[in-house]
Amino acid sequence: MSYKNIDIKLLLTTTIAIITLAGIAIGSLPKLRMNRSTISLVGATFLVLTGAITLNDAYKSIDLDTITLLLGMMIINVNLGIAGFFQFISSKIIHYSKTPVELLLLIIFSSGILSAIFLNDTICLMLTPLIIEITTQLKRNPIPYLIALATSANIGSVATIIGNPQNMIIGISSNISFLHFTRVLIVPSILSLIFLFLIILIIYRKEFIGLRFKNTPEFNFRIYKPLFYKCIFSGLIFIALIITGFPLPVVALSSASILLVTRRLKPQRVFVEIDWSLLVFFASLFVITGAIEKNALTQKLFNYIEPISKGNSGLFVFFSTVLSNLVSNVPAVMFFKPFINQFANPEKTWFLLAMATTFAGNLTLIGSVANLIVAESAKRHGIKLDFLEYLKVGVTITLISILLGTYYLEIIY
């Protein structure tokens, strides 16, 4: 192959990659009905067609451990939803909320804790309509509570490997154990939730001053007890397998399999609720990053920011935050993944990457999928969560949580 052909091939690969990543960042392409999943799938296919990566190498580039872990968690979450678990949590939130301050506090910490266990996107999907129903019945302004839900879901998700998709990639790639990952990142997560609570109280102080709910409305829901109890049993098995050191994909699939062994629930009831488009997105994104790495594009880009490999945590966090808001947090993690071992302390760098890319999602309304889920769900209920309105909380909590997380990791490492 001639030098000229190599240049053309590299140019073509670069163009496809840039258009695809831009589409993923925006969430669509002009005048086309495409979402992140279809954009990434089409981009990956074009990279195979143009020879940027062979079909065999494309298959090899897909991290099946991450896909398996994500699928297993989705099956568990769908069963929890059918069992009425999330409605049960919402009923407890409204039962124990006697004032708007208490309601805010319970939403923030319930969302944060649940997101660490059941994926932040799932929690936002399940709780947004319930939060809207609660605030409507109590005649409260839903905006501060919806912002609290989205931002706390992102903050809480940083505490575990299964809290969000980018943490799953980091957990699988780094071989950091589940318990060690949580021991390190649970502190900045909890502290950031506290700061979030204070920030929303200050910004929306008129919503929370001197008021008690006269009558807490009834929250009607139905618990499907056989599945509910089976979910509890599955959760105990999940915890036991994690403690005994089983690989996370095996843990997730084992717990999911327990729930799939049933005489009552039709399989299609579960599988129709699984977000297959997210699995397509992940698989395609692995192929895209594989093609980019194969053509040394990531190495070329990394050379421009090589000073971050010299032990400057602040600079690394800055680039991670910026990249997460340019191309989204999952592609940002995939960009840095091949180079983490070049750092003086790879384990610390993995934690910095998990912390920064997750907290960065709170910066703007389009910074994370969780935020978009809340905004779109609210829109369907006739509530507009404005971009600028979100920034009032988003910018402040992002700066505080990232600075806090960076400082904390510097201390313990």
**Model confidence at 160: pLDDT above 90:** yes
Quote the tokens at residue 201: 């109280």
pLDDT of 299 higher than 70: no
Average pLDDT of the chain is 89
What is the rounded distance in angstroms from the CA atom of residue 319 to the CA atom of residue 317?
6
pLDDT band at 203 (very low <50, low <70, confident <90, very high): very high
| 265-281 average pLDDT score | 90
Query: What pLDDT is stored for residue 261 in this prediction?
Result: 93
Helix extents (H) in 63-177: 64-83, 85-96, 100-118, 120-137, 142-157, 165-174
Q: Give mean pLDDT, residues 119-132.
A: 91
Q: Residues 6 or more apart from 352 whose CB is under 8 A from it? A: 313, 316, 317, 320, 405, 406, 409
- In the chain, the number of structural domains is 1
> What does the pLDDT look like over 365-412, one tens digit per residue?
878 888 988 998 898 888 989 889 999 999 999 999 999 999 999 999
Residue 29 three-state SS: strand
- Of the candidates 371, 364, 327, the residue with the CA atom closest to the CA atom of residue 17: 327
Considering the entire predicted model, what is its pTM? 0.86
Lowest mean pLDDT among 209-213, 286-290, 385-389: 209-213
pLDDT band at 92 (very low <50, low <70, confident <90, very high): confident
At 11, the amino acid letter reads L
At residue 287, does pLDDT exceed 60? yes
Q: What are phi and psi of 29, to 5 degrees?
A: -120, 145
Write down the pLDDT at residue 1: 44
Categorize the per-residue pLDDT at 85 as very low, low, confident or very high, splitting at 50, 70 and 90: very high
2 pLDDT higher than 50: no
Q: What tens digit of pLDDT does each residue of 313-333 get? A: 888 999 899 988 887 888 889
Please tell me whether residue 38 adopts helix, strand or coil conformation: helix
Give the pLDDT band (50/70/90) at residue 297. low
H/E element, 400? helix 387-412
Give the distance, in angstroms, between the CA of residue 110 and the centroid of all CA atoms in the same chain.
16
- The answer for 384, left when phi > 0, alpha when psi is -120 to 50, beta otherwise, is beta
The 10s digit of each residue's pLDDT in 300-311 is: 666 666 666 566
For residue 259, pLDDT beyond 90: yes
Looking at residue 302, its pLDDT comes to 67
Q: Which domain holds residue 329?
A: 3-412
